[in-house]
Amino acid sequence: MLKYISNKGGVEPVDFETAILDGFAADGGLYVPQTLPAISAEQLEKWKNLTYLELAFEILSLFIDRSIISAAELKQLLTTAYAPFEKREIIPLHPLKSRKNTYIMELFHGPTISFKDIGLAFLVNLVNFFLQRKDQHLTLIVATTGDTGPATAYFSAGKSNLDAWVLYPKEMITQEQERQMTSLQHANIHPFAVSNCPEGGDDLDAVISKLYANQNFKEKLQLSSVNSINWGRVMMQTVHYFYAYFQVVDQIGEKINLSVPSGGFGNLCAGALAREMGLPIKNLLAANNQNSCLERIFSTGKFSKEALINTQSSAIDILIPFNFWRYLYFKVGGDTQRIKAWMDEFSASGTLQFDPQVFASYSQGFLANSVTDEQTLALIKEIYTGEGYLLDPHAAVGLSASDTLREQLGTEKLVVLATAHPAKFPETIRRALNGAELPLAATHHSIESAKKYSQKVHLCEYQVLEPALIHAMQSNWELTKGQ
């Protein structure tokens, strides 16, 4: 049976179900499969014409033992998860007119119109499936820079085995993203708007880690998370790399480039693992905004936390790319002792310099670039006025980074991941288009509908977040569970 271990090596191997329901490993590490499946060219050949759902079934079957989820159950889970997506193909690709062999992969056709729907549609349904089977209840807690929160809330809403606590830095996400969370009236959804977070979403992650470390509280409330800390998110996101590959190549074996607007490295970690498994990817481009955490890692070998800069691509205003540790585990031959030493050193000092050998090994096949707001805004305008296609600020970061690094990328086909719909960022779009009237493409019916509902939300200052959360979560637990 395929087992999962912590990349810090401090817990006994567990099965898939335990890894998913735990979220975090108890030693503060990230769950990884003990071995990654290898996918041959023959296998890729067989998969090349599959639909997204068929492909997801094949790839997930490599990570999930049939004794835990039968083939019929997995198919049903996938069908249910993606039923609310608005495009039959789930992830359409849009070829750009102005750049040769360049495709925008639209990952935003789920119900909350960001790529977080791709991972969370499946993961939340999967968690709920396990809980119903065991007749158990779980308290999910996630921090969001504006997209994980809406998707977690949407897919958890009304599920009686789950409560979802969704924390967001109040002044640092758009009103549209906020409405997506606060307009849900379901009793099991608890948005928490946190004011004055000096480091945005990273501050909220730090408080969640403290709650996890509070053993009594964690056990009583059955605390878990579906942030990209959860293996299920990364596993599910490997699928869209394979899918994109099959959509653009002329023949199996051809190599492609992908540019990924990145913050926490969850999405890129999935791409890197897809390549480790055998997908022919030449370069993965880590596209940062001016919070250049990944550019530092991939250009200089330095993993460090700097002061937060608020940008127009606010969903990637992220300081710590936590999933990098998961990827690194596979680049150092599964050496958990080294990973533990690095993770501990970084927690203690906030900075870490990898030695040249490690740097060379993990950075092979990676490029990185930091994009300024001026570049982001100018590119949104250029592509909209030039070819009538509206990029969201994050997709613009991805495309701008690839424009800058065109020469290093080479002439292979390029897929840029569009991780959100522009309707989530109307102010930025307006600014990019010089205050002109918002185009129809910058609106979405789901956002218009969310604006009509009254808002349900806890408000709190960052300074008192931990006690306020404990109080609110405990009260809710006692009220609903009578304990």
Interactions with ligand PLP, residue window 28-67 (CB under 6 A): none
Q: Residue 113 corresponds to which tokens in the numbers above?
A: 């119109």
Of 188, 262, 363, 402, the one binding ligand PLP (CB under 6 A) is: 262
Binding segment for ligand PLP (CB under 6 A), chosen from 10-18, 262-270, 325-333, 340-348, is 262-270
Nearest distance from residue 216's CB to ligand PLP, in Å?
31
Binding segment for ligand PLP (CB under 6 A), chosen from 129-137, 257-265, 272-280, 433-441, is 257-265
29 vs 150 by CB, closer to ligand PLP = 150
Question: What are phi and psi for residue 305, nearest 5 degrees?
Answer: -105, 120
Of 125, 183, 267, 400, the one binding ligand PLP (CB under 6 A) is: 267
Nearest distance from residue 260's CB to ligand PLP, in Å?
7
Nearest distance from residue 268's CB to ligand PLP, in Å?
6
Of 29, 150, 191, 266, the one binding ligand PLP (CB under 6 A) is: 266
Q: How many CB atoms lie within 10 A of CB 349?
A: 10
183 vs 323 by CB, closer to ligand PLP = 323
Determine the size of the site formed for ligand PLP (CB under 6 A).
18
DSSP codes joined into one string, 271-316 = HHHHHHHT--EEEEEEEE-SS-HHHHHHHH-EEE-------SSGGG
Nearest distance from residue 193's CB to ligand PLP, in Å?
17
Q: How many CB atoms lie within 10 A of CB 359?
A: 17
Q: Does residue 200 interact with ligand PLP by CB under 6 A?
A: no
Q: Does residue 263 interact with ligand PLP by CB under 6 A?
A: yes
Q: Does residue 288 interact with ligand PLP by CB under 6 A?
A: no
Nearest distance from residue 361's CB to ligand PLP, in Å?
21
Interactions with ligand PLP, residue window 409-448 (CB under 6 A): 419-420
Q: Is 159 labeled as catalytic in the residue annotation?
A: no
Query: Cα angle vertex 367, ends 404, 142, to 5°?
Result: 105
The span from the CA of 424 to the CA of 4, in Å, is 36
Q: Residue 400 corresponds to which tokens in the numbers above?
A: 């701008």
Nearest distance from residue 363's CB to ligand PLP, in Å?
17
Give strand pairing partners of 166: 142, 191
**Contact code string over 222-241 relative to ligand PLP, x by CB under 6 A:** ------x-------------
Q: Does residue 114 interact with ligand PLP by CB under 6 A?
A: yes
Binding segment for ligand PLP (CB under 6 A), chosen from 18-26, 32-40, 296-304, 311-319, is 311-319
Burial of 73 (0-12, 13-18, 19+ CB in 10 A): middle
Nearest distance from residue 262's CB to ligand PLP, in Å?
4
The span from the CA of 444 to the CA of 442, in Å, is 7
Q: Does residue 261 interact with ligand PLP by CB under 6 A?
A: yes
Nearest distance from residue 170's CB to ligand PLP, in Å?
17
The span from the CA of 146 to the CA of 170, in Å, is 10
Q: Residue 372 corresponds to which tokens in the numbers above?
A: 């300024």
Q: Residue 265 corresponds to which tokens in the numbers above?
A: 């490295």
59 vs 234 by CB, closer to ligand PLP = 234
Q: How many CB atoms lie within 10 A of CB 250?
A: 7
Provide the strand spans (E) within 7-122: 31-33, 93-95, 102-106
Binding segment for ligand PLP (CB under 6 A), chosen from 56-64, 261-269, 457-465, 467-475, is 261-269
190 vs 394 by CB, closer to ligand PLP = 394
173 vs 414 by CB, closer to ligand PLP = 173
Q: How many CB atoms lie within 10 A of CB 219?
A: 9
Of 116, 159, 340, 413, the active-site residue reads 116
Q: How many CB atoms lie within 10 A of CB 431?
A: 17
Binding segment for ligand PLP (CB under 6 A), chosen from 23-31, 164-172, 207-215, 310-318, is 310-318
Provide the strand spans (E) within 119-185: 138-143, 162-169
> Which 3 state secondary structure label does DSSP give 181?
helix
Of 24, 165, 265, 327, the one binding ligand PLP (CB under 6 A) is: 265
What are the angstrom distances between the C-alpha of 60 and each of 49, 81, 385, 422?
17, 14, 41, 30
Residue in this structure with the two tokens 């030449």, named with its chain if needed: 282
The span from the CA of 41 to the CA of 339, in Å, is 31
Of 33, 150, 264, 422, the one binding ligand PLP (CB under 6 A) is: 264
Binding segment for ligand PLP (CB under 6 A), chosen from 78-86, 217-225, 272-280, 314-322, is 314-322
Q: What are the residue ranges of helices labelled H in 198-290?
A: 201-213, 215-221, 231-248, 266-277
Nearest distance from residue 267's CB to ligand PLP, in Å?
4
Name the pairing type of β-strands 93-95 and 366-370. Answer: unpaired
Active site residue ranges:
116
Question: Interface residues with ligand PLP (CB under 6 A)?
Answer: 114, 145, 147, 228, 261-268, 315-316, 318, 394, 419-420
